[in-house]
Amino acid sequence: MQPVIRVLLIEDDEEDYLLTRDLLLDSKDTKFHLDWVSSFSDAIEHLQRGNHDVYLIDYNLGPHDGLELLKRFATAPFPMIMLTGQDAREVDLAAMGSGAMDYLVKGQIDTALLERSIRYSIARKRTEEALRRKDEFLAMLAHELRNPLAPIRTALHLLEMPQIGSEGIQQAKDVMKRQVDHLVRLVDDLLDVSRIMQGRIELRKQPTDIVEVVKHAVETAHPTIDARGHHLNVTFPDEPVVVAADPTRLSQTICNLLMNAAKYTEKAGQIWVTAEREDTDAVIRVRDSGVGIDPELLPHVFELFVQSERSLARSQGGLGIGLTLVKRLVELHGGNVTASSGGRGKGSEFVIRIPAVKEQPYSKDPEGRRMAQRVSHRVLVVDDNVDAAECIGVMLEMKGHQVEVVHDGFAAVETAKRDKPDVILLDIGLPGRDGYEVAQILRADPDFADTKIIAVTGYGKDEDRRRTKAAGMDHHLTKPVDPDHLDQLLRVLAKTG
């Protein structure tokens, strides 16, 4: 069924309203819902709400004219069409210059022309809005990437200064770690949104106590909350509340809300997190004493790339994708998320509801999951980025592994056949032979049947993971690799053999 197009006619002549109504009713291809206001003040009120798909604005509105409305709402995200009885070029140009998508002369309008104009205006406005959001997003992305790069560069400069002491070295290292973590989160969020929009994300659901999920989210968000001097208030239920969830993804949604609350709350503010059971739902609330959300923005906060300045410095912004990610992930869990705010300066609250299940045993990262004692591996690192390869090599050597580093596909095969490593960390985009070909060559050799080959690559889509698996690789890590994650994986490989 075709969606109904909501039209608001701003017209002070009832006969013209009736004529417009009849024209829209005569449409055989499109269903319209027409509302009508006749006064300038009512028109402003409706335009501020923005609840219609298109606005038809009469040129003459008593003591006012439609150009005033066009100019006042020229940057609005909805299309406006000027209707007038004056077939004058100067009026046409003035209307189009003030933001009208089209200009129609009364007496020359029929159903086909009106319908075509409405459809054209909606399509053009949506295209313009999409392009505007894209440009804003690219500007935000550049801004958000430069922000962490600046302190990283400064920290590196400090490390090169001969007079720096041990305390200064530690501070510089802490700065770089925080900023790199921030960059990784930005890239991960972008990839997650892309996967979700394409329906390519899979949840690994298991019986999960929401308390454990909230605790993990709080632990992850704590550095940001503490850095801004906020006071965090956490309330848990007396009894376990179990949901069928992917604990990592659900924790990610709560962490995103906490990070959002921290960013949009002035320093030394209050943040509340509550987990509870309400009837058949597990409910998680994240509330803050922050700058709040404007009423006109509130219905759109979960849309992609939508943001508000919210009175804070732009440096506290982001990419406008965090809440979109929250909404999609919660929906994949069979739940919903809502936002509310008393307005600017009155804080905001986000509420996640997910169906609860009867209590079942669930995994709490038991002792049995602890890694085996550290075992030394013979590791071959293959990466054409010399700095990246050497850094990973040094780190692995410091952890007790025997490491060889090469930088192209031919050297990878030659060195692997000579040294017989236990583990190969293999980049994909290599000169000579790419990582897929290297893996396939080695897997064809019986001597490498038990060798663990780990893809370490900047390619992280589901299709990339399928290709690495098909080429014979055991694991797929996306750059930049978390050193702790890599160390943990090597321990697991030592245990599983």
**What's CA 315's distance to the chain center, in Å?**
17
**Residue 362: its pLDDT value, please?**
45
What CATH architecture is 5-128?
3-Layer(aba) Sandwich (3.40)
CATH topology of 136-197 equal to that of 206-357? no
Residue 11 pLDDT > 70, yes or no? Answer: yes
Q: Hey, where are the domains in the chain? A: 5-128, 136-197, 206-357, 371-496
Residue 211 pLDDT > 60, yes or no? Answer: yes
State yes or no: cis peptide before 148, omega within 30 of 0. Answer: no
Residue 17 pLDDT > 70, yes or no? Answer: yes
| Position with higher pLDDT, 376 vs 315 | 376
The angle subtended at Cα 411 by Cα 406 and Cα 416, nearest 5°, is 85
Does the structural domain 206-357 have CATH classification 3.30.565.10?
Answer: yes
Which helix (H) or strand (E) covers residue 167, if one does?
helix 166-197
pLDDT digits (tens, 9 = 90+) for 455-479: 998 887 778 889 999 999 999 998 8
> Any idea which residue has 């889509």 for tokens?
461
User: Count of CB atoms within 10 A of residue 404's CB?
Assistant: 18
Which amino acid is present at 113?
L
Spelled out in words, what is the top-level CATH class assigned to the domain 371-496? alpha beta
**Residue 64: its pLDDT value, please?**
86
pLDDT digits (tens, 9 = 90+) for 64-116: 888 999 999 988 889 999 998 877 788 888 888 888 999 999 989 999 999 99
3-class DSSP state of 444 = coil
**Residue 25: its pLDDT value, please?**
93
CATH fold label, 136-197: Helix Hairpins (1.10.287)
Residues near 76 by beta carbon (within 8 Å), at least 6 away in sequence: 47, 50
| Position with higher pLDDT, 95 vs 380 | 380
Residue 198 pLDDT > 70, yes or no? Answer: no
Average pLDDT over residues 50-60: 93
**Residue 161: its pLDDT value, please?**
87
Position 292 confidence tier, pLDDT thresholds 50, 70, 90: very high
